[in-house]
Amino acid sequence: MRSCPIIRLASLPSLAATMAEGDYTIHAMLARMREDFRAAGVADPAFSARALLAGVLDITPTQLISDGTRGLSAGQVSRLEESVRRHSAGEPVYRIIGRREFYGLSLSLSPETLEPRPDTEVLVDAVVPHLQQIVARNGKARVLDLGTGTGAICLALLSECPSAVGVASDISVDALATARKNADMNGLGARFQAVESDWFASIDGRFDVIVSNPPYIRSAEIEELDVSVRLHDPLRALDGGPDGLEPYRVIAAEAGRHLEAGGIVGVEFGWDQLADVRAIFEACGFVVLEAIKDLAGHDRALLFARTA
């Protein structure tokens, strides 16, 4: 990755230090950021510039165009220059912004939460019809999200099913605080409970839907991950053990005693793990209801029901 723009931004006086109030416009800053990202070898400089500019200034993508001639303050330019340095060094766009949209919800991020990705939305898409059928049959439903992180999967399901309530578990106190914050910000706090638990260890009762996007990277492969993941995502949310399958063994072994009759289990996994995850759950008395591919056409998630 070339460092020309980083050297220039760090070694020369910043725009914020030399400009008069309002000298730099949104359009001018967008062009500058795009140029710096292109020179730094960022994969999609136009996207990064638009997303960071809108996110840091807290404006909509439409306003980047409609308010393009609006002048920026020295403080705004300083924050944008810092975002350029951070992203050019490998920090992901949404980590810098501190939030990301998932399934129509705005979710805050924190150091011990994974950044929710669009591929996980396919698991939500697959679970929603089953959850709605359970609500139609019983008038209510209870959801458990294991290793919830930001609360993304649980909150997305609750947003789609107003008669459902959710319990979200995690071993990280930081993640649970972030999930609670996200529930409140999206008007879902009254139906959402965050529980500190190592998988099922502190979970009581039964649920109609159990979902999880657990750690599934093989331990030996962590060092091979892209810097944007390896240095900025929490390690314990990535490391699935020597073969990447340890969390699935725990979930499959314990899910049955926490699942209501007619309930389902949905899990996300790595692109090459479908056969292994399927075998683990089938050995524990589950049958596959549906196999789901992600946006790139890779195997991404499985839905299971109990065989008896």
For 69-150, strand residue ranges (E) read: 71-72, 99-102, 105-108, 141-146
Give the angle 173-112-267 at the CA atoms, nearest 5°. 95
Do 44 and 112 fall within a single domain?
Answer: no
Contacts of 13 (CB under 8 A, 6+ apart): none
pLDDT of residue 228: 87
> Sorting pLDDT into bands at 50, 70 and 90, what band is 22?
low
- 17: pLDDT strictly greater than 90: no
Do 75 and 174 fall within a single domain?
Answer: no
Are 297 and 256 spatial neighbours (Cβ–Cβ below 8 Å)?
Answer: no
- 20: pLDDT strictly greater than 90: no
- 21: pLDDT strictly greater than 80: no
Do 77 and 200 fall within a single domain?
Answer: no
Q: How many domains does the chain have?
A: 2
Note the pLDDT tens digit of each residue in 82-115. 999 999 999 999 999 999 999 999 999 999 999 9
Phi, psi of 107 (to 5 degrees): -120, 130
Instruction: Tell me how far apart the alpha carbons of residues 122 and 85 are, in angstroms, rounded to a whole number.
Output: 33
202: CATH: 3.40.50.150
pLDDT of residue 15: 54
For the chain, give the number of residues: 308
Instruction: Tell me how far apart the alpha carbons of residues 197 and 130 are, in angstroms, rounded to a whole number.
Output: 26
Instruction: Tell me how far apart the alpha carbons of residues 79 and 73 are, in angstroms, rounded to a whole number.
Output: 10
Are 212 and 146 spatial neighbours (Cβ–Cβ below 8 Å)?
Answer: yes
Mean pLDDT confidence for 172-190: 98
Do 302 and 187 fall within a single domain?
Answer: yes
- pTM (two decimals): 0.90
Do 92 and 108 fall within a single domain?
Answer: no
Last residue of a domain, one of 31, 62, 97: 97
Are 188 and 157 spatial neighbours (Cβ–Cβ below 8 Å)?
Answer: no
For 174-285, strand residue ranges (E) read: 192-196, 207-212, 259-268
Are 163 and 183 spatial neighbours (Cβ–Cβ below 8 Å)?
Answer: no
Provide the residue range defining the domain that includes 28: 4-97
53: CATH: 1.10.8.10
Residue 46 C-beta-side C-alpha neighbours within 13 Å: 0
Instruction: Tell me how far apart the alpha carbons of residues 194 and 286 are, in angstroms, rounded to a whole number.
Output: 27
Note the pLDDT tens digit of each residue in 192-219. 999 999 999 999 999 999 999 999 999 9
Instruction: Tell me how far apart the alpha carbons of residues 208 and 141 are, in angstroms, rounded to a whole number.
Output: 6
Do 10 and 105 fall within a single domain?
Answer: no
